[in-house]
Amino acid sequence: MTAKLYGIGVGPGDPELMTLKAVRLIEECDYVAVPKSGDGEGVAKQIARQAVKNFDQKQLLEVSMPMTRDPQVLEESHQRAAEQIEACLSAGKSVAFLTLGDPAIYSTYIYVHKRVQQHGFAVEMVPGVPSFCAVAAKLNISLAEGAQPLHVIPASYQGVEEGLEWNGPKVLMKTGRSMKKVKELLSEKGLLDSAKMVQKCGMEGEEIYQSMADVDENSSYFSVIVVKD
């Protein structure tokens, strides 16, 4: 393969939801870049390992992606990751960078993608199944019908209260750390009974909640809420 960076979405958790293209490119690339945000094996790495036959023979490139909102720490980690990948590309090697869900939706990968592209290297994004689509399937519901607008809201950031007032179905992502606040807002807006949630969709420990009243305030970071009036 020619030197190129592939940002590969591995889906939300179930390895059977990985695309054929994602599996093929991981098998063919010289290096597999795996994001590391703390101790233990990364989730994206665990998913890919179950679907890619030669995964344990791949040359891995661990890139630090700390779970923080400190802009300086993030800037430095993204720059280091880009430098690691560019060293491989400069040597004529191809790199598959694994990312949960889809690389175009709230993915840390995109910051590395932009840097590498700006430095003149070839890049490509390979879409994956977004977590909220997998969640809707688990709940056996549609996300939007007819002319309904669909709103995807990062619930642990500012603006969630305003977003809950928008017309149409709403998906609340990144809710885990702010679950108490999110439940209070849903209750205040009269939306608590219209909300359902899946925690760790497609992963070990998956939980499906048809009622938000049953949701623990210390839920996993991997929790997605769907609100439909």
For 24-64, the DSSP string reads HHHHH-SEEEEEE-SSS--HHHHHHHHH-TTGGGSEEEEEE
Encoding tokens for residue 74? 């993030």
For the residues 15-34, what does the mean pLDDT come to?
A: 97
- Mean model confidence pLDDT for the chain: 93
- Dump pLDDT digits (tens) for 108-162: 899 999 999 999 999 999 999 999 999 999 999 999 999 999 999 998 888 899 9
Percentage of the chain modeled with pLDDT above 70 = 98
Res 102 pLDDT > 90: yes
d(CA 229, CA 134): 20
The pLDDT of 160-189, averaged and rounded, is: 91
CA distance 15 to 30: 21
**Cα distances (angstroms) measured from residue 7 to each of 41, 104, 117, 130:** 19, 9, 12, 14
Q: What is the reported pLDDT for 216?
A: 85
Over residues 79-107, mean pLDDT: 96
pLDDT band for position 212 (cuts 50, 70, 90):
very high
Eight-class DSSP state of 217: T
Closest by Cα among 115, 33, 34 to 79: 115
Give the C-alpha distances (Å, rounded to integers) separating 197 from 62, 73, 207: 32, 32, 8
Query: Tell me, what's the pLDDT at 73?
Result: 87
Distance CA(90)–CA(188), nearest Å, equals 55
Domains of the chain, start order: 5-126 (3.40.1010.10), 131-227 (3.30.950.10)
